[in-house]
Chain A
Amino acid sequence: IAGITQAPTSQILAAGRRMTLRCTQDMRHNAMYWYRQDLGLGLRLIHYSNTAGTTGKGEVPDGYSVSRANTDDFPLTLASAVPSQTSVYFCASSDWNRGFSPYGYTFGSGTRLTVV
């Protein structure tokens, strides 16, 4: 089934540790995104990538980094985790054509991260 795979599903992480959240898509979408979802704050964009080899900062990029070495993979790294990074992280992708993505975003199932 085509879609986005995120790993791990959940993780408890000690503060100060480094962690990489994995995201892989098999739809050959050109754009990929990382969002965090916190109660009452909705979905906030962390980083995005319009195409392989390029990345950009979203609304809340501090403490996170990303890379896009190929079309399919878009890992999110927390260099030194802090408790405020406790959240549910969603990876998403879309297929943009002339400014529109007629099928919207496809989201992964999410990673629930708890930093203690």
Chain B
Amino acid sequence: GQQVMQIPQYQHVQEGEDFTTYCNSSTTLSNIQWYKQRPGGHPVFLIQLVKSGEVKKQKRLTFQFGEAKKNSSLHITATQTTDVGTYFCAVGGYQKVTFGTGTKLQVIP
């Protein structure tokens, strides 16, 4: 199946600072999904990107799909304590979706 590298593994930010996590693949992706998992919780679907260069926003979250469809990023503007959790990207299609190892975000009040 497809493999993705997700960086960084951990990130501590002061509340109000921005945060970005990246997913990188060596192969061209058909689409990429992003999930958030709160501590002690389960992954929750955030968004799917399909088109080259696509940018989607959800309030303070901005998702980008690279022009070559080999990388993607999730950017959070002005983090809040409610943003704490692990953010995963997921790639692949029917049957075999592979999740990245996630970026654990800690927000310091």
Contact = CB atoms under 8 A, between A and B. Distances in A.
From A33, A41, A104, residue with most partner B Cβ within 10 Å: A104
Secondary structure type dominating chain B contacts: loop
A103 B48 CA distance: 8
Contacts, number: 60
Interface string A46-61: 0010100000101100
Interface of A: 31, 33, 35, 40-45, 48, 50, 56, 58-59, 90, 92, 96, 99-110
Contacts of B35: 104-105
B45 A104 contact: yes
A42 B98 CA distance: 10
Contact of A90 (B42, B45, B48, B50): B42
B20 interface: no
A104 B101 CA distance: 17
B102 A105 contact: no
